[in-house]
């Protein structure tokens, strides 16, 4: 009897980012579902609970990722699901959202934060670390 591989939910409005990272995660044996709309992803979570969520920060709205992660962490059904926030805000818009303390990361309702472009090995290591918790 084989156990089901962990399910990773990717949310980003950049299809190329979704495709590339889906392939990276699937190559390591993870099951991956991709969404370009955080509201659709949240609705899907009710029937298909992921083991880790990876979400872009800025999508349709500038704070889409923050709102999405706060909804996840504020819902008793999902509050224990690790959330990784990713963004290109630093490189594309000059904003610096990088959390410098655990309190700042907690205020983001996130378990990890990465700037784009993401180094695949760093992302995979963080996913594995979060799954082991």
Within a domain: residue 115?
A: yes
State how many domains the chain has.
1
Domain containing 47: what range? Answer: 7-132
The tens place of each residue's pLDDT in the chain, 133 residues long, gives: 457 899 999 999 999 999 999 999 999 999 999 999 999 999 999 999 999 999 998 777 656 788 899 999 999 999 999 999 998 866 555 566 677 778 887 888 899 999 888 999 999 999 999 999 8
Is 2 contained in some domain?
no
**Contact status, residue 14 vs residue 56, Cβ threshold 8 Å:** yes
In a domain, 121, yes or no: yes
Domain presence at residue 63 = yes
Torsion of CA 93, 24, 14, 69, to 10 degrees: -70
Q: How many CB atoms lie within 10 A of CB 102?
A: 8
Task: Give the domain CATH number at 98.
Answer: 3.40.50.2300
Residue 1 belongs to some domain of the structure: no
**Alpha carbons 7 and 10: distance in angstroms, whole number:** 10
């Amino acid at each position: 009897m084989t156990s089901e591989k962990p399910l990773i939910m990717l949310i980003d409005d950049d299809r190329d980012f979704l495709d590339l990272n889906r392939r990276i995660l699937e190559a390591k044996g993870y099951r991956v579902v991709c969404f370009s709309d955080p509201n659709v992803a949240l609705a899907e979570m009710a029937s298909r609970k992921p083991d880790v969520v990876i979400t872009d920060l800025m999508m349709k709205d500038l704070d889409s990722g923050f709102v999405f992660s706060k909804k996840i962490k504020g819902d008793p059904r999902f509050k224990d699901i690790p959330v990784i926030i990713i963004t290109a805000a630093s490189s594309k818009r000059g904003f610096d959202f990088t959390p410098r303390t655990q309190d700042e990361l907690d205020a983001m309702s996130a378990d990890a934060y990465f700037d784009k472009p993401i180094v695949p090995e760093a992302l995979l290591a963080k996913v594995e670390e979060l799954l082991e918790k």
